[in-house]
Amino acid sequence: MTGALQSLRVRLALTGFLAVYLPVVLLFAVTAIDERQVTETGPDGVSRTVTDTGVAPTGWTVLTVVVLLPVAAGLAWWWSGRAVRPFERVRAAAERIEASDLGLRVGPAQGTTEARGLAAAFDAMLDRLERSARVQRRLVEETSHELRTPLAVLITGAEVLLAHPEPTLELYREGLERSRDAAERLRGTVGELLVDARGRARVIDRRATDVAALARAVVAEIEAAAAARSVAVRLGGAASAEAPVDGPSVRRAIANLVGNAVKHAPAGTAVEVAVTRGAGAVEVVVSDEGPGIPAAERERVFERFWRGEVAPGTGLGLPIARQIAQAHGGEVVLLDSMRGCRFRLSLPDGSAGPDHAG
């Protein structure tokens, strides 16, 4: 009995039954009471008028009460079933959903406002899960393709050396150099994928942060690697530019832009990093004097794993930088430039309110 009372439908049915049948019982009791005045003569011979109260139901009254019992019970059970039907639809949909098929939806629900709200929230959750699963599948496909290439180079190089009848020291050196390059590419890809995964799982923790200080830290960190390529990194613009951002994420985005510029900058040139305040936003512009990007390929520069024909790197730096910017309500765009490339990272500074910041 206790288990049955835990059911919402049973509780609603019991409540509905009492609400319908209890007034019938009370009405029956009121109408069945018979009050009469009778005259009684006592032993002393004195006559007295007394009231005689009793229950004298008619046959029709009793029949009505008996017939209404199952009618009230059936009506209450039917009403409770309609009340919980939207919730049953949500439960049935949840039971039928599988990880490989998230296309099922509850659909427009009928019933109370709460039931319709629950169905709409459940469908919205499924929409988010389906988008997430679609992105995950695409990421797995792209990652598997990207990792197969350096692995194939490693395996092929080893097989060539092992199958050579008379390998020389120079042949071994060439094979090891190819293996080293492939391993470095593999390590870079795995590292960027881990950063990407952590960034997707990270909750944006907005705090007042000096974006100019983040840019200075990135420049100080990358100067040694740039100097090894005979590339200078120069920071200019505002000395301070605060914005409500997630510091570690934005630092990663700036580092990706600056690192990308250093990779493409020819020896003897400089990478310019400028922090400025725009209309309601803090902007970081990174410029290099590299070969630039052909007009036909400009639209693909933010595609995952796209590197052009001879571009170094993993092809994840710019997409991750844009992803971080968009998570903050900003953007990363490729600007027109007479020479090389100019990328602009824009972040809302909070002056326009949370709706503008995203």
* pLDDT per residue as tens digits for the range 62-113: 777 777 788 788 887 777 777 777 777 776 766 666 545 666 666 665 666 6
pLDDT greater than 60 at residue 204: yes
In angstroms, rounded to a whole number, what is the distance separating the alpha carbons of residues 74 and 80?
10
Mean pLDDT of the chain: 76
Strand segments, DSSP code E, in the chain are 33-41, 47-55, 207-210, 232-237, 242-245, 270-277, 281-287, 331-335, 342-348
- The full set of domains in the chain, from first to last, is 2-96 (no CATH), 139-201 (1.10.287), 207-357 (3.30.565.10)
**Mean pLDDT score, 137-160:** 72
Confidence of residue 310 (pLDDT cuts 50, 70, 90): very low
Tokens representing 11?
């509780």
Strand partners, 48: 40
The answer to whether 154 and 179 have CB atoms below 8 angstroms apart is: yes
Encoded amino acid at 261, one letter: A
Confidence (pTM): 0.53
Per-residue confidence (pLDDT) for residue 181, from 0 to 100: 79
Mean pLDDT (whole number) for 211-233: 91
pLDDT at 216: 94
DSSP letter string over 196-225? HHHHHHSPP--EEEEHHHHHHHHHHHHHHH
Reported as a pLDDT band with limits 50, 70 and 90, residue 355 is: very low
Binning the chain into helix, strand and coil, the percentages to the nearest 5 are 60, 15, 25
User: Which pLDDT score is estimated for 235?
Assistant: 93
Q: 240, 304 in Cβ contact below 8 A?
A: no
Please give the single-letter amino acid code of residue 235.
L
pLDDT in tens, 234-292: 999 888 989 999 888 898 889 889 988 898 889 999 999 999 987 889 999 999 988 87
Q: In angstroms, what CA-CA distances link 201 with 130, 145, 187, 304?
A: 17, 23, 21, 18
When mean pLDDT is compared over 48-52, 116-120, 125-129, 320-324, the highest value belongs to: 320-324
